Structure 1
């Protein structure tokens, strides 16, 4: 079925219920939300030739129009390609081209994106005309294996890969949320303080199904004072947050004496949450936290640690469990395996494998990467962990050396390739350094080209010209050589030890 059918059903059931809010102001009821989406879908089909399976890219920050556009795309039977608006214009252009998008729906500033695809700003008159187009009577029919969401996640090759998420994948993710993460009620409000192009946007489905409110902060992002203010004026807030966001929110709440009233649930994931930090969070804001572990390849659905388990300190191993990422969610099987795919004994480390209906259909037009990640029905996550006898999974390391800063994945190879294009750089290796504010900072170890003396400001300017600002290194360390093993592979563990010392 078409995912837009969920919106249609809710609009019929509670047409006058508030749906979209900008801050605390209601900008659309469910009837208006559904009508706008149906109109956008019709305009996509009739005016722009977008049909079933065609891709439509979104390059904008958080706004209520984002949800209207998403459901308009699905009404048309098309595929949403959400793109992080913080990416460099060149990176956006690559994704738009690789996905074969027919159209790009943008924020106000899209002039820097060099592509041949038509662009429509959601704040402009052309999008407003789409909103007012004669609406589709019903969403275009789709089978469960139809592609719905094409999520681009950077790979170790340095090129982003398109994760193909089908209708069935997103349905499984949604149903698992109700069982393993949280129940949702009509009185609740989904707060989009994290990017809607990522996990926060995926959590719209649960709240559409239940007829809850969807709140985009006036800032369009994460502002601790604003969030605590909305907790009082809107109430019953549920949100997805990276651990670094949780730490900032807790710090502000402690400073002003806020006890979390008005916040219902904070789902945290996307990076390491230290035990001391979640203990402090619970002590400050109460039993409002649920942890999830997932990947774009199996969105938000590998494991979960419930709010009851997070606050329960009666179990003899409660601290160990609090340091885990919980147990397998209902729709998936999770196991830890050796290199041959054999399940290892409880407590032993290995690669985390996942199987179930939430696992992606594969990578877009990338058979080699698909074959490497999907083997015999199992997703090889690239993450290293250990599972205890009770099924609690603890992450040990990330075998792909992903750096997670502010809840966003940064892939070292991508940054390394950019720096290697600088004439004063002979070799480079990028690693993550622990950061109290961001989780991890990017650090580049640089070996100078013969006769050259790399200048930090020059290297930084080079990175700003090539990649998104949040990916560029926070520090550059000049070294005479990089530590390597007998096969010539750079030993990043040694570089991390240097940073620790």
Structure 2
């Protein structure tokens, strides 16, 4: 008989371990939706896990969550992992139809939702016959009924009811048991909470949906051991996180970036997390920072730009010892302006849903603006050319990474899994260049590179130059194919507040700071740039906008 692997459960690692270490009275989670100590959180998680088991959830079964950032969400993720099931937090920005596709893909039997998403979930349930149970958290209760019904497909996209019904009147399908989160918790409390399920480091713990490197949403499958991996590598050895830290993340819990920032990292050391359930705005984030005084602040480059545009008081981030940027490369000018105004260092890095968090990063006090930094301890990165051969330092190549937190693959996506997960290595889909002293610089997604005048151009290099101009608030450089089939760099820019963009002046400005072939051939002024839910610029959409305006192919 093979040896039985050593038991390891990520929920126990994050919560029970802190109580056993005598940190039960310390604050684990706080924010406008409530505050819990570690002892309170541990009790809540154990009781909820028992309640979920009583209501038929089994180990290794998926539990899908459509929940805003609040203590109940944190407890649900932890409880699902504690009982050996698989937590699947999904984007709260999805429409009902988009949620329905995720429900079907995950083959989930149980969905947990917070009240503000009940209508979208109801639409999704009409498209997901395998869902048997809906658990409503927060203030919304099922009105004492265990069953409710409606006709499938009774709501049109956008939330408007067919037949003139008011929004909010939609109910789950017949056959879907509707339970209150508090009742599930009470059932677990009455039964007496049991110990954690004996999972292993390689047991499935978490799925995170991503479009990632290949388009359509797919679930990256993560192990219990991967949670520990990102905490011991990035959180401890890059952030230097301690029990005295308070973490506040603009990215939400359903993102890989957000779940690390707001759940894994602070709880792994007995620190505190600040949860904000509402959609992030510069004013709202600034208010939360002033109220909760976090020491670690996490956001994406576009949000750092938005904070600068909001012209917040210089002391807004006085409590923050370190800020972190990820999601896409942080332009050097945004870094310089933010640090100069707020006096807070920002370390940029690259991570991915498939890797669970950041694997290349700058270090506090050692930031090289415009780069993603160096390899995080525990990870190894390499750059390969199109034939799979290593490239020399200074030459661009496709970025591959390996480390303990890499996902085991995509759920039910064999062909894509084989393309992206190559043995121990994850093919990230990014083009990078490495300096002789080990700093990695992003040149963009591998399919975003532009060949102008027969020479490869990195859009990000041109964008960094444009952002240095006082008239530019945001920009994206994309390829435009002219009537002769030749690619040309085109700059789509959003003017700074009160500024007027002069296209000729911007082109000349780029000529002064870049090689001539890198200059944009056209400058288009837009009111805003389309972005994904994570704040990444949607270059494919922008390419289409440029083509329509310029009349090319």
Q: TM-score range by the shorter chain?
A: 0.7 to 0.9
User: Which residue does 1:297 correspond to in 2?
Assistant: 354
Count of residues in correspondence between the two structures:
420
User: Which residue does 1:76 correspond to in 2?
Assistant: 83
User: Which residue does 2:282 correspond to in 1?
Assistant: 224
1:206/1:471 CA distance change after superposition, 3 Å: closer
Tell me how far apart the structure 1 counterparts of residues 202 and 551 of structure 2 sit (CA, whole Å): 47
Q: Tell me if the contact between 2:234 and 2:377 (Cα under 8 Å) persists in the aligned partners.
A: no
Q: Does 1:33 align with 2:41?
A: yes
1:161/1:194 CA distance change after superposition, 3 Å: same
Q: Tell me if the contact between 1:355 and 1:378 (Cα under 8 Å) persists in the aligned partners.
A: yes
Tell me how far apart the structure 2 counterparts of residues 468 and 216 of structure 1 sit (CA, whole Å): 18
Tell me how far apart the structure 2 counterparts of residues 327 and 64 of structure 1 sit (CA, whole Å): 34
Deviates more, 1:224-233 or 1:197-206: 224-233
SS in 1 for 2:388: coil
SS in 1 for 2:200: coil
Q: Tell me if the contact between 2:301 and 2:327 (Cα under 8 Å) persists in the aligned partners.
A: yes
- Counterparts of 1:304-343 in structure 2 under 5 Å? 304-310=361-367, 321-343=368-390
Residue in structure 1 matching 2:70, options 63, 70, 76: 63
Deviates more, 1:393-402 or 1:192-201: 393-402
Q: CA deviation at 1:432?
A: 10
SS in 1 for 2:400: strand
Tell me how far apart the structure 1 counterparts of residues 399 and 218 of structure 2 sit (CA, whole Å): 20
Tell me how far apart the structure 1 counterparts of residues 551 and 306 of structure 2 sit (CA, whole Å): 24
Tell me how far apart the structure 2 counterparts of residues 257 and 385 of structure 1 sit (CA, whole Å): 34
- Counterparts of 1:479-498 in structure 2 under 5 Å? 495=547
Residue in structure 2 matching 1:260, options 317, 334, 340: 317
1:290/1:470 CA distance change after superposition, 3 Å: closer
Residue in structure 2 matching 1:360, options 407, 414, 418: 407
Q: Does 1:89 align with 2:96?
A: yes
Q: CA deviation at 1:255?
A: 4.1
Deviates more, 1:324-333 or 1:148-157: 148-157
Q: CA deviation at 1:69?
A: 0.7
Q: CA deviation at 1:186?
A: 2.4
Q: CA deviation at 1:286?
A: 1.8
1:215/1:494 CA distance change after superposition, 3 Å: closer
Tell me how far apart the structure 2 counterparts of residues 390 and 211 of structure 1 sit (CA, whole Å): 35
SS in 1 for 2:123: coil
Question: Deviation string for 1:288-330 (max 9, x for gaps)?
Answer: 32222011111223200112122xxxxxxxxxx3111011111
Deviates more, 1:143-152 or 1:265-274: 265-274
RMSD: 3.4
Q: Tell me if the contact between 1:195 and 1:221 (Cα under 8 Å) persists in the aligned partners.
A: no
User: Which residue does 1:316 correspond to in 2?
Assistant: none
Q: CA deviation at 1:248?
A: 2.1
- Counterparts of 1:437-452 in structure 2 under 5 Å? none
Tell me how far apart the structure 2 counterparts of residues 493 and 400 of structure 1 sit (CA, whole Å): 18
1:184/1:26 CA distance change after superposition, 3 Å: farther
User: Which residue does 1:189 correspond to in 2?
Assistant: 246
User: Which residue does 1:103 correspond to in 2?
Assistant: 110
SS in 1 for 2:35: strand
Unaligned runs of at least 5 residues, structure 1: 311-320, 405-411, 413-430, 438-466, 478-490
User: Which residue does 2:516 correspond to in 1?
Assistant: none
Q: Does 1:21 align with 2:30?
A: yes
TM-score, length-normalised on structure 1? Answer: 0.76
Q: Does 1:177 align with 2:185?
A: no
Q: CA deviation at 1:333?
A: 0.7
Residue in structure 1 matching 2:444, options 397, 405, 422: 397
SS in 2 for 1:39: helix
- From the two aligned structures, give the one with the greater strand fraction: 1
1:272/1:32 CA distance change after superposition, 3 Å: same
Tell me how far apart the structure 2 counterparts of residues 277 and 296 of structure 1 sit (CA, whole Å): 24
Q: CA deviation at 1:89?
A: 1.6
1:192/1:325 CA distance change after superposition, 3 Å: closer
Q: Tell me if the contact between 1:161 and 1:364 (Cα under 8 Å) persists in the aligned partners.
A: yes
Q: Tell me if the contact between 1:55 and 1:100 (Cα under 8 Å) persists in the aligned partners.
A: yes
User: Which residue does 1:214 correspond to in 2?
Assistant: 273
Question: Deviation string for 1:37-66 (max 9, x for gaps)?
Answer: 11111111111x212211101112222211
User: Which residue does 1:136 correspond to in 2?
Assistant: 193
Tell me how far apart the structure 2 counterparts of residues 371 and 64 of structure 1 sit (CA, whole Å): 37
Q: Does 1:121 align with 2:136?
A: yes
Q: Tell me if the contact between 1:207 and 1:214 (Cα under 8 Å) persists in the aligned partners.
A: yes
Q: CA deviation at 1:470?
A: 9.2
1:148/1:436 CA distance change after superposition, 3 Å: farther
1:496/1:209 CA distance change after superposition, 3 Å: farther
Q: Tell me if the contact between 1:385 and 1:397 (Cα under 8 Å) persists in the aligned partners.
A: yes
Instruction: Return the index of the structure with the highest Cα Rg.
Output: 2
User: Which residue does 1:233 correspond to in 2?
Assistant: 291
Unaligned runs of at least 5 residues, structure 2: 1-7, 142-179, 450-458, 461-477, 479-489, 497-531
